[in-house]
Amino acid sequence: MATTAPRKTLRLGREAADIDRAASILRDGGLVAFPTETVYGLGADATNDSAVAGIFEAKNRPAFNPLIVHVRELEAAEALAVFSDPARALAEAFWPGALTLVLPMREGAGVSELVTAGGRSLAIRMPDHPVAAALLAAADRPLAAPSANPSGRISPTTAAHVLGGLEGRIDAVVDGGPCPVGLESTIVGFETGPVLLREGGIPASALEPCLGQKLVKGADEEQLSAPGQLASHYAPAASLRLDATEPDDDEFMIGFGKTPGDITLSENGDLVEAAARLFSCLHLADESGKPIAVAPVPETGLGRAINDRLRRAAAPRGT
C-alpha cells in the first residue's frame, strides 16, 4: 500500500467497527493517522519495512530521522528494548503517558531498520488515549508513528489538521477529537545516564524525583540522536515573531495571559491550556496569511516546551 500514487483517505470514527477497519489497514501495510493524548500520530506496522517507508514518503520526512514505536503494554516494550532500572521506574510511573524512552534495542526485536534510522537505540512510548490503546490492541503489533504532519510543519491536534496536511497521502485517519495534551511527548534517552532529548508534555521537573537526579539536557548539535531538533522543525508558512507585547501593523497576534491577541493561547495564563492550544493557534494564525506575532510565555513548567516549539517555529528557514 505504500506507493506514491494518490490514495483516498478514509475518515474513520472511534466505534469498534472503525477501529477494526483501521487495524486491518495497518496489518496490510497501510498508513493510518490516529489520536494520542499528545498529538495525532501517523501509524504504520513497525515491523513492516515498506509500511514504515510509506511514513517517510507521506511526510516527506528526512530519512535520517528515526521514529517512535507505540506499544500497548510495558511487556510489549520490554520485548523490543532493554530497560535499565531507572528506565523501568519511569515507565511504571508515567506510562501510559506523554513520555518516550530511548533505549538499547533488543537483539531480534523485529522492528524495521527504518524505524531506528539504522541505529541501535529505539524510542518507545505507551500512549494514554483510549483510541490509540484500542487500535494498538486490535492491530496487535507495535506501531511506528511520528506526528501526522508533513515534515517540518506544525503537529496536528485534530483530524482536520491531519487531513489538511496529508489528505490523499495516507489510507485513513481515525477521528478521536482534539488531543488533550497538545504537545509531543517528553523524550528521555538512556544511552549513558538519563538525558533529556526533547521537552514535551510532561515537564522534566516531574520526572526528576522518580530518577532521583537532575535531567541534563542533551546537546542538540551532537545529536543526530534527537534530530527532531532540526532548527525550523515546526514552521508555519508565515514568519513568526516571539515575545511580542503588541502586534505590528499587519501581524496576526497570538496572545497569552494579560497580553491580548486575535486569538489567545490561554486568557488566564494557564500553561496546560496553552500547551493544548499551541498548534491549533499556530494553524489558525497560519491560515490568516499574515506574519505572526506571539506574546511572551514564561519559561516555567510546560512553558519551557511551549517556548522550545515556538523558537523552532520562528527559526530561520532552510536549515
Interface contacts to ligand TXA, rule CB under 6 A:
36, 38-39, 41, 65-68, 100, 102, 116, 119, 121-123, 127, 145-147, 184-185, 187, 197-198, 225-228
The C-alpha cell 483530524 sits at 159
Ranges within 140-159 binding Mg ion (CB under 5 A): 147
User: Using CB distances below 5 to 8 A depending on partner kind, what does residue 121 bind out of Mg ion, ligand TXA, none?
Assistant: ligand TXA
The answer to whether the peptide bond before residue 96 is cis (omega within 30 degrees of 0) is yes
Using CA atoms, how far residue 238 sits from 241, 274, 283, 319, in Å, is 10, 20, 10, 16
Q: Which is nearer to ligand TXA, 176 or 257 (CB)?
A: 176
The one-character DSSP state at 259 is B
Q: What is the dihedral of CA 65, 52, 99, 218, to 10 degrees?
A: -20
- Radius of gyration of the chain from its Cα atoms, rounded to whole angstroms: 19
Joined grid coordinates for residue 8: 483516498
Least separation in angstroms between residue 289's CB and ligand TXA is 26
Using the minimum distance from each CB to Mg ion, give the nearer residue, 13 or 180: 180
Q: In terms of CB distance, is 147 or 185 closer to Mg ion?
A: 147
32 vs 75: CA distance, rounded Å: 24
Smallest gap from residue 194 Cβ to ligand TXA (A): 13
Long-range contacts of 116-119 (CB under 8 A, 24+ apart): 116/66, 117/63, 117/64, 117/65, 117/66, 119/66, 119/225
Among candidates 208, 210, 215, 214, which has minimal Cα distance to 189?
215
Stretch that binds Mg ion, among 65-73, 87-95, 111-119, 139-147 (CB under 5 A): 139-147
Residue 146 C-beta: closest distance to ligand TXA, Å: 3
Rounded to the nearest whole angstrom, what is the least distance from the CB of residue 213 to ligand TXA in the complex? 20
Q: How far is the CB of 98 from ligand TXA (least distance, A)?
A: 6
Residue 67 interaction partner, one of ligand TXA, Mg ion, none, beta carbon < 5-8 Å per kind = ligand TXA
- Looking at the Cβ atoms of 68 and 306, the one nearer to ligand TXA is 68
The minimum distance between CB 258 and ligand TXA, in angstroms, equals: 30
The helix or strand, by DSSP H or E, that contains position 297, with its residue range, turns out to be none
Of 67 and 159, which has the nearer Cβ to ligand TXA?
A: 67
Residues within the interface to Mg ion (CB under 5 A): 147
